[in-house]
Amino acid sequence: MHPSILGILIAIFSVFLAILLEGASLRSFFHLPAFLLIFGGTIGASIASTSLSQLTNAISAIGAILRDRDQFDVQSIFFRFWEKARKDGLLSLEEEAKRLQNPFLQKGIQLIVDGGDPRTIEEILWEAQEELEKKEIRAAKFFETAAGFSPTIGIIGTVLGLVTVLENLEGGTKVLGQGIATAFIATFYGISFANLILLPLSNQLKSISKRKSNERQAIIRGVLSLQSGENRRILSERMEPFVER
């Protein structure tokens, strides 16, 4: 299980455990109207602030978190490429490029195999890197925006619940107490969604984006070094600042 998902589950479990230890009933914390208000209101306000395409991008980003196990040793791959290029020339890397699972690395190797101008290759790769980074950050920003709306919509739900309670004061003290407790469930949902789910997802996406950005920058340095025929030590030195250990 991915650490982010594990962390969210631990946080949610801790909340439920605290409820049980306080002697409260878990059943009293499940309220479908409040859940629908927070979920639908948060999603709707977030889409209104961004766009529907960013919602789909954010949903696909959750899948990216779950699949974020495809880290590879970029330096080792370039050392292998360097050895092969030194023996058989850059054109020999074409078959290697076709087998690569990383699209950005594949693009870089294919560009030098095609014999592009170094400056042009650098510009193409930097533009691609910047666009990918922007897309990743937009997904993180969507969850961050949603986390800002969620508690506020929770307060709206609480106000709506209290209005309903005040309209039915003749029900007696017990009914009044239950109504007030139910009204505050919306605030509980809003704060919990923001701090236990939405913000952790946003922060994890930012972390993944930063790591992938460094990875792509290391690839750019490696591609240009490989094309210019620099020795292995120079290749390593150019990539080293962007390689995470």
Cβ atoms 87, 171 nearer than 8 A: no
Determine the pLDDT at residue 167: 74
Q: Residue 166 has which token pair?
A: 């005040």
Cβ atoms 123, 185 nearer than 8 A: no
Determine the pLDDT at residue 93: 87
Q: What is the dihedral of CA 125, 144, 52, 57, to 10 degrees?
A: 40
Determine the pLDDT at residue 102: 87
Cβ atoms 229, 239 nearer than 8 A: no
How far apart are the C-alpha atoms of 139 and 143, rounded to whole Å? 7
Cβ atoms 165, 113 nearer than 8 A: no
- In a domain, residue 21? The reply is no
- What amino acid is encoded at 78 in this protein? F
- In a domain, residue 18? The reply is no
Indicate the pTM of the whole model.
0.81
- In a domain, residue 224? The reply is yes
- In a domain, residue 89? The reply is yes
Determine the pLDDT at residue 2: 67
- In a domain, residue 148? The reply is yes
Cβ atoms 146, 40 nearer than 8 A: no
Query: What's the whole-number average pLDDT of the chain?
Result: 85
Domain count within the chain = 1
Weakest mean pLDDT among 39-53, 59-73, 107-121, 227-241: 59-73
How far apart are the C-alpha atoms of 114 and 33, rounded to whole Å? 60
Helices and strands (H, E) in the chain, number of each type: 10, 0
Determine the pLDDT at residue 223: 93
- In a domain, residue 238? The reply is yes
Looking up tokens 């005040």 gives 166
Weakest mean pLDDT among 89-98, 104-113, 176-185: 176-185
Determine the pLDDT at residue 70: 54
Most confident of 93-102, 167-176, 181-190: 181-190
Domain that holds residue 108: 31-242
Return the DSSP state at 196.
Answer: I
Determine the pLDDT at residue 245: 59
- What amino acid is encoded at 236 in this protein? S
* Confidence class for position 60, pLDDT limits 50, 70, 90: confident
Count Cβ atoms within 10 A of the Cβ of residue 223 and give its class: 0-12 exposed, 13-18 middle, 19 or more buried. Answer: buried
Evaluate if residue 199 carries a pLDDT over 90: yes
* Confidence class for position 58, pLDDT limits 50, 70, 90: confident
Query: First CA to last CA across the chain, in angstroms?
Result: 21
* Confidence class for position 69, pLDDT limits 50, 70, 90: low
* Confidence class for position 68, pLDDT limits 50, 70, 90: low
Q: Residue range 188-198: average pLDDT?
A: 92
Determine the pLDDT at residue 42: 93
Q: What is the dihedral of CA 147, 151, 153, 158, to 10 degrees?
A: 160
Letter string b/e over residues 35-60, b meaning 16 or more CB atoms within 10 A of that residue's CB: eebbeebbeebbbeebeeebbebbee
- In a domain, residue 4? The reply is no
Q: Residue range 33-40: average pLDDT?
A: 90
24 HSE (CA, 13 A, CB side):
13
Instruction: Determine the length of the chain.
Output: 245
Determine the pLDDT at residue 144: 93
